[in-house]
Structure 1
C-alpha cells in the first residue's frame, strides 16, 4: 500500500473512534493487533480498551494536527479533549466521574499490514492528564520546583 493509503486508513480509524463506531474496527484493525503501550494483543482487547474510554469520556474527540507516513508506518499527532463523566477503570481501581474537562496532545505510531492497523504505540503526557483530573497534586516542594505546572 502507498503511504497515502496508509494515512487514509489511520484517518478512518480516528474518525471511527471519534464516532464510537467499533464496527469499523473489524475493517481497520488486524485480528492479532499488538498494542505495545497497553501490552495487549488482539482486536477484541483493543475494542474493550476503547469501550472503557467511551464510558469514562463519552465526548472524547481527537483532532488530527499532523500525520506523517513512511513505508508501513504512520505517525499521527492529535489534540484530544473530553469530559470525565463516567467511571474510569484504572489499574489501581475504578475512578468515579470527576466532571472535569481534559485536553492533551498524543502521538500514535501505527504499523499497517494488508490495509489494517497491525501494531501500535502511544506517546502522551500521563502526568498532566492525571493532574487535570485532580488525581495527582504537587507537594509543596513540587510546587516550588514546577510553579508553571502547579496551578
Structure 2
C-alpha cells in the first residue's frame, strides 16, 4: 500500500470521527487492535472515543502534520472542544480547550492494527484552571472561603481542590512528578554527553528489565545494555535528545508510568570510528515503567517506537 493510500485512509478516518460516523469503524480498524500497549476490541476502542465525546462538547480533531513510512502513520493533531463533564480527572469550568495530540498508527491491509496516542494534558489542565479563575473573578460572591452561590464559583473550587489532591504528597520528601521529569531530562542529557555506561545501569534492573525498539529487544540486563551502548557510541559520535511531551501517572508507592515523545538528532557513521557520516533526525515515542528504590530511580520497562523518521539512521 502506497503512502498516498494511507494518507487518504487516515483523512477519511478523521472525517468519520468528526462526523460521528461510528458505524464506519470497521472500515478503519481491525476487530482487535493494540491500543497504547493493550489489546482491545474495536468496540472497546469506539467506546473510548465516545467517552471523550460525551465529556467534551464539540470535540474536533484537526490534522496539522502527517508522516507515512511503510505501514506506519505518525500524526500531530490540534484538538478542540469544551469539557462539560469530568474528563481526564479534571472538572469542567466552562472553558474551551485547544491542545496537541500525537498519534502513531500501524496499518495492516489498510486498517489500523496498532496505535499509540498522547494528549498534552498539561495544556488542558492550564486552560481549565485559567477558565476557573476567570469565572471566579466575574462571579458575584462575598466570601470565596465560605463558598459561593454561583456555579462558576463552585467549579473553580472543585477544579482547584482536584489539583491540590493530585499533587498532595503522601510523604513530604518522597519523589514527585517534578523529580520524575528531572530524572528523564538527566537520563537523556547523559546520552547527549556520552556518559559512562555505569550511569545508565545504575537505573536499570539487572534481573528484570525490558528495553525495546519497535518491539525488538535491545537489551535485557546490564551486560546486554553495555554491549548495545558501546555499539551505539561507535556509530554515533554525537547526538541530542529534545523531549516534546511527558505524561506521568502514578506515585512513589505504586511506581510511575510515563509516556512521552522526543526528537533524536545526530550524526551516524555507517563504518564505526570513521570521520565521515550522515545526519539523522527522528521522533520516538517512549513508554517507561519507573520505580523508586528509596535512594534512586529504577527503569523496569523501556519501550521505544519510531513515530517519525525524517532522516533515518
Q: TM-score, normalised by structure 1?
A: 0.78
**CA separation in 1, counterparts of 2:118 and 2:63?**
15
Look up the match of 2:17. Answer: 17
Q: Which residue of 1 aligns with 2:30?
A: 30
- Give unpaired runs (5+ residues) of structure 2: 130-158, 168-313
Judge conservation of contact 2:62–2:77 (CA < 8 Å) in 1: yes
* SS of residue paired to 1:8: helix
Call closer, same or farther: CA 1:88–1:24 in 2, change over 3 Å: farther
The alignment status of 1:123 with 2:113, answered yes or no, reads no
Q: How many angstroms apart in 1 are the aligned matches of 2:53 and 2:86?
A: 9
Taking CA–CA contacts closer than 8 Å with sequence separation of 6 or more, which of the two structures ends up with the larger relative contact order? 1
What does 1:2-151 align with in structure 2 at a 5 Å threshold? 2-36=2-36, 39=38, 41-85=40-84, 87-88=85-86, 90=88, 97-134=92-129, 135=159, 136=163
Alpha-carbon shift at residue 133 of structure 1 (Å): 2.3
Aligned-residue CA RMSD (Å): 2.1
The secondary structure found in structure 2 opposite 1:100 is coil
CA distance in 2, matches of 1:79, 1:117: 21
TM-score by length of 2: 0.40
Q: Check whether the contact 2:32–2:39 (CA below 8 A) recurs between aligned residues.
A: no
* Alpha carbons 1:40, 1:46 under 8 Å: kept: no
Instruction: Report the structure number with the largest CA radius of gyration.
Output: 2
- Give the total of aligned pairs: 133
Unaligned runs of 5+ in 1: 140-151
